[in-house]
Every structure is written in structure tokens, then in C-alpha cells.
């Protein structure tokens, strides 16, 4: 066999996808004649990309109404086609059901497998529909299959495992050259691709929930390992790019201070850099969520397998085997069946009246009036417990920030996390309080996300407004409480949580 023909059937899968759309049968020529040349094919692939964008970028379900509105906006502007509402519904149904779903009939493309010298049938399915119950009715939504995602990414983004690194390196070089517009677009692509990995995990968890026996262990291991490798390789690079973007923004600020000329190009560059910073922070946040999703998937998969095994090994009482078949084989003893089921019914109480009870002394039964209460009993409302929990959590947040600042001051303005944990373990009560629900660790992560906290600037601000408290970490509230209680805070100008590079 020629070695270059290895995996040939996988290459032909892309050809099969294109062939399923281009050379489809049962065409509605009345609708397709409304478009010039290859415009209808362009429109079909545009709908595919819209479904992907809707589910990845906006993270919401896509139904036929969304697609109809998309077509309504696209047709007049880009294709010069004006359709009424009835024609739009017909076109939407035709693209979804006839073109992309092949009228619900499985589409197979035959490819040559040179390694095994066979013809292999490849099933083509680009989109899947899901039925949801909404307000007593049902709604059908559409999403790309793994095959659909793979096809669309290969038409532009190339292979995902390579492209993530390529996208980040391109972003880094674009920022170096102050090409902020393209860098902004690339940073948006990063978010979209991380969300695609999250979507893969969610789809696999859905498959586990539906039927654990259809969840392939090989697919699970591949998904887990690829997620870990992706995050491990790219977290530091993204942080470096974000730092580079911040430095570019600082350079623009210095250029403005030296020239005192804020023209339109500088304003546009500043806006684009700010958006890049936001997108990269969002990507880092999405990657942290991806780590949590990966851990949740592992636990959920193992627990589901354990439950499935326990259910399969459980001994059950076979009613048919031990009762119904026995009754069929021993008809003469069926009359005694009531002795078996009698314990399931209420006991037969003796209905005899004691004649002596009729002649016993009897008296009138008086209803005693309940004492009227002059007060209204306090209701135990769930909102009260929720408010108490919020207050307790925020007290712990203040205590955590106070402890971190004090330890940093005791150690010449800097302290390592492992040293703080060691000191905390000496005081078990304090340790358990600050690590309750991992609060100290989540607080450190949020402070790391915030970056530099400028206390001097914050103190100079006259209006310190604290919004309604919740269980989330509120830096403004914690600083306000520390300023009110402790004098040492006035000596701190700024602080920052940094990643240890040693």
C-alpha cells in the first residue's frame, strides 16, 4: 500500500460533506431560482456559520425563528432578494430540513479505505435538533454536531489543536506591531475557541446523562487529556500577551502626555486595546471555568459508572418468577394467595360493641376556646437566613483581606501563599473559618484578576458608595471596613497578587 494514502477515508469525509449539500436530491427549484449562480450555496453555508456563532459566541440555543430573522436581514442587503413572511418561512424550513438535515434521512458517502481494502460508508450529519419543553409546549432548537464543527473549523481555523497556539502567537505579533484592529479580532477568536471546548464537555456530559453505555471511554480520555494539555500550554502565553497589551496602552498614554494631542487614531487605538484586555481576561476566565468543568466531568463520569455498576449488581425480587409463575403452576393453591397479600391491606378491626359501655356515666363534651394571642408570631423567612449568610460571608472576606495585608507588612511588604497557609494552620479555628467553602483561595484568585489595587487613589476619592452586598467578594466594601477599623491600612498605598515565577 502507498503510505501517503493512509487515513484517506478521513480526508474524503470533507468531500462527502460538500457533496451532500452541492449534489443533493429533491431540490425546490422554485426557491433556488430566486438566487443567482452560487448564491444559494453561499446562503446555506452562511446559515451553518450563524448556528455556530449563535451557540458559541452568545451561548444560547438557536431555533428556526433566529434563523428566519438572520435570513430576513441578509437577503435584501447581500443577495438583493426581497421575500414576504410566508416565503421566508418556506426558505427557512427548506434550508434546515431539506438541505442540512436531508429530510430526516441519514446521508451516507462511500469512501475507499486503502489500509483495509474496503469501501467505508461515512454518515454525514451537520446539525442536530433538540426538543425542549417550554411553557407547556415544545420548541425545537438546532446545534452543530461534532462533524459540523470539525468541517467549519477546517474551512477557516484549520485544526483546532494547532490553531489555538497559532492564534495566540499571531495576537502577540499583531500587538507588537500596534495592529490593534486585527489583534482585537484575534482575541475574540480565542474566546470563541475556548467556548467550543467547553461545549464539547457539556455535550459529553449530556451523553452520559442520557445513556452511560453510549459514552466511549476512549472519547472521554481524549477529551480530558486534550483539555488539560491545551490549558497547561497556553495559560502563561495568554498572561504574557495581556501584559504586553497593557504596556502598549501605557505607551499610548505617555505619547499623549508628551504631545497633548488626543487625535481620533489614538482614541480608536485605546478603545481597541481596552477591548483586547477585556477579551483576554474573559479568555483566562473561560479557561479557569474549563478546568472546573473538566473536574466536574471526571467526577460525574466516575460517579455515574459507579451507580450503573451498583444498580446492575443489585439483587431484585422478581415478582413474575416467584409469584405469577408459581400461581400458574400451582392452581390449587391460588385460593391461599390472600395470605400473601393480606399484610398489604388495612387490618380487619373487630366491629363488636361492648354493651357495658352504653351504661357507663357520660358527660357533655365542651369545646374549650383557645386563648387569644395578643401578638403575631414571627415568621421564619428564608430571606432572613439568606441575609445572615451574606453578612457572615462578608465578615470573613474582610478578615481574609486583613490577614493578607498584615502578613505582607510583617514580611517587608511581600509574603508567599504557602507561608500564609502554614501560619494559618497553627490557628485551627482561624484556618477553618477562612478556608470555609475555599473562600480564601477564591478571594486570592479574584484579587489576582483585579491586578494592582491602588489604595492611595481610592482614599482620595470622596464618594465611597457600597452597593447591596451579596455572597460575592466586594473589594470596595472590604476596604471601607478595614479603613474604618484599623489605622495601619492608611500606610498602605497599593498592593497586588502576583504569580510566583520561581
**pLDDT tens string 215-240:** 677 777 777 777 766 666 666 667 66
For residue 366, tell me if it sits in a domain.
Answer: no
- pLDDT of 422 reads 85
- Domain assignment of residue 350, yes or no: no
If asked whether residues 17 and 102 sit together in one domain, one would say yes
Residue 160's pLDDT is 46
Q: Does 327 reside within a domain?
A: no
What is the dihedral sign for C-alpha 151, 153, 157, 159? negative
Q: Which long-range contacts (CB under 8 A, 24 or more apart) does 196-199 make?
A: 196/56, 196/149, 196/153, 196/160, 197/227, 197/230, 197/290, 198/286, 198/289, 198/290, 198/293, 199/55, 199/56
- Which pLDDT does position 351 carry in this prediction? 66
Q: In the structure grid, which three cell numbers stand for residue 371, read together?
A: 386563648
Q: Which domain holds residue 404?
A: 383-495
Same domain, 161 and 299: yes
Which of 309, 337, 355 marks a domain boundary?
309
Residue 302 and residue 409 in one domain: no
Q: Are residues 111 and 169 in the same domain?
A: no
Is residue 355 one of the residues assigned to a domain?
no
Q: Which of 292, 309, 326 is the last residue of a domain?
A: 309
* pLDDT at residue 165 tops 80: no
Report yes or no on 374 lying in a domain.
Answer: no
- In a shared domain, residues 146 and 164: no
Query: What is the pLDDT at residue 110?
Result: 92
Domain check: are 397 and 437 in the same one? yes
CA nearest to 300, candidates 206, 166, 416: 206
Same domain, 490 and 397: yes
Residues 294 and 406 grouped into a single domain: no
Q: Contact at 8 Å (CB) between 153 and 160?
A: yes
For residue 193, being part of any structural domain is answered with yes
pLDDT digits (tens, 9 = 90+) for 292-323: 776 677 777 777 777 666 665 556 667 788 77
Does position 287 have pLDDT exceeding 80, yes or no?
no
| Whether residues 107 and 163 fall in one domain | no
Average pLDDT of 443-472? 76
**Of the residues 309, 342, 369, the one at which a domain ends:** 309
Q: Which of 16-20, 131-135, 197-201, 464-468 is least confident?
A: 464-468
Per the structure, how many domains does the chain have? 3
Euclidean distance between CA atoms 39 and 35, whole angstroms:
6
Which pLDDT belongs to residue 310?
Answer: 64
Say yes or no: 142 and 206 in one domain: no
Residues 145 and 163 occupy one common structural domain: no
Amino acid at each position: 500500500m502507498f503510505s501517503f494514502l493512509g487515513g484517506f477515508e478521513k480526508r474524503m469525509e470533507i468531500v462527502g460533506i460538500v457533496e451532500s449539500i452541492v449534489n443533493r436530491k429533491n431540490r425546490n427549484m422554485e426557491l433556488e431560482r430566486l438566487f443567482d449562480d452560487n448564491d444559494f450555496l453561499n446562503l446555506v453555508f452562511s446559515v451553518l456559520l450563524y448556528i455556530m456563532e449563535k451557540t458559541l459566541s452568545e451561548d444560547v440555543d438557536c431555533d428556526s425563528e433566529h434563523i428566519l430573522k438572520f435570513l430576513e436581514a441578509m437577503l435584501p442587503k447581500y443577495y438583493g432578494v426581497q421575500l414576504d413572511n410566508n416565503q421566508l418561512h418556506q426558505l427557512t424550513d427548506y434550508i434546515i430540513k431539506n438541505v442540512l438535515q436531508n429530510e430526516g434521512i441519514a446521508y451516507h458517502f462511500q469512501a475507499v479505505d486503502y489500509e483495509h481494502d474496503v469501501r467505508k460508508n461515512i454518515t454525514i450529519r451537520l446539525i442536530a435538533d433538540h426538543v425542549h419543553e417550554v411553557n407547556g409546549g415544545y420548541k425545537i432548537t438546532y446545534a452543530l454536531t461534532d462533524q459540523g464543527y470539525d468541517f467549519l473549523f477546517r474551512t477557516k481555523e484549520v485544526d483546532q489543536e494547532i490553531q489555538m497556539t497559532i492564534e495566540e502567537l499571531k495576537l502577540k505579533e499583531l500587538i507588537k506591531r500596534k495592529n490593534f484592529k486585527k489583534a482585537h479580532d484575534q482575541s475574540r477568536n480565542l474566546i470563541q475557541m475556548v467556548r467550543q471546548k467547553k461545549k464539547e464537555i457539556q455535550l459529553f456530559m449530556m451523553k452520559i446523562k442520557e445513556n452511560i453505555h453510549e459514552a466511549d471511554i476512549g472519547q472521554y480520555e481524549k477529551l480530558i487529556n486534550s483539555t488539560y494539555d491545551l490549558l497547561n500550554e497556553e495559560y502563561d502565553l495568554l498572561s504574557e500577551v495581556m501584559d504586553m497589551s497593557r504596556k502598549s496602552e501605557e505607551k499610548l498614554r505617555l505619547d499623549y502626555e508628551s504631545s497633548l494631542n488626543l487625535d481620533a487614531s489614538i482614541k480608536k487605538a485605546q478603545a481597541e486595546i481596552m477591548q483586547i484586555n477585556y477579551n483576554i481576561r474573559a479568555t483566562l476566565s473561560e479557561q479557569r471555568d474549563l478546568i472546573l468543568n473538566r473536574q466536574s466531568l471526571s467526577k460525574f463520569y466516575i460517579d455515574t459508572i459507579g451507580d450503573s455498576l451498583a444498580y446492575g449488581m443489585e439483587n431484585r425480587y422478581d415478582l413474575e418468577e416467584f409469584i405469577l409463575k408459581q400461581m400458574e403452576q400451582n392452581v390449587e393453591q391460588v385460593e391461599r394467595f390472600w395470605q400473601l397479600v393480606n399484610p398489604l391491606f388495612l387490618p380487619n378491626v373487630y366491629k363488636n360493641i361492648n354493651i357495658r359501655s352504653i351504661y357507663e356515666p357520660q358527660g357533655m363534651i365542651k369545646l374549650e376556646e383557645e386563648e387569644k394571642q395578643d401578638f403575631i408570631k414571627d415568621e421564619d423567612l428564608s430571606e432572613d437566613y439568606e441575609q445572615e449568610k451574606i453578612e457572615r460571608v462578608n465578615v470573613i472576606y474582610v478578615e481574609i483581606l486583613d490577614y493578607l495585608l498584615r502578613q505582607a507588612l510583617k514580611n517587608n511588604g511581600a509574603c508567599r501563599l504557602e507561608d500564609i497557609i502554614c501560619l494559618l494552620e497553627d490557628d485551627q479555628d482561624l484556618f477553618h473559618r477562612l478556608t470555609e467553602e475555599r473562600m480564601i483561595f477564591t478571594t486570592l484568585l479574584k484579587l489576582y484578576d483585579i491586578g494592582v489595587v491602588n489604595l492611595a487613589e481610592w482614599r482620595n476619592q470622596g464618594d465611597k458608595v457600597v452597593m447591596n452586598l451579596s455572597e460575592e467578594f466586594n473589594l470596595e466594601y472590604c476596604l471601607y471596613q478595614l479603613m474604618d477599623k484599623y489605622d495601619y491600612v492608611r500606610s498602605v498605598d497599593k498592593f497586588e497578587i502576583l504569580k510566583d515565577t520561581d
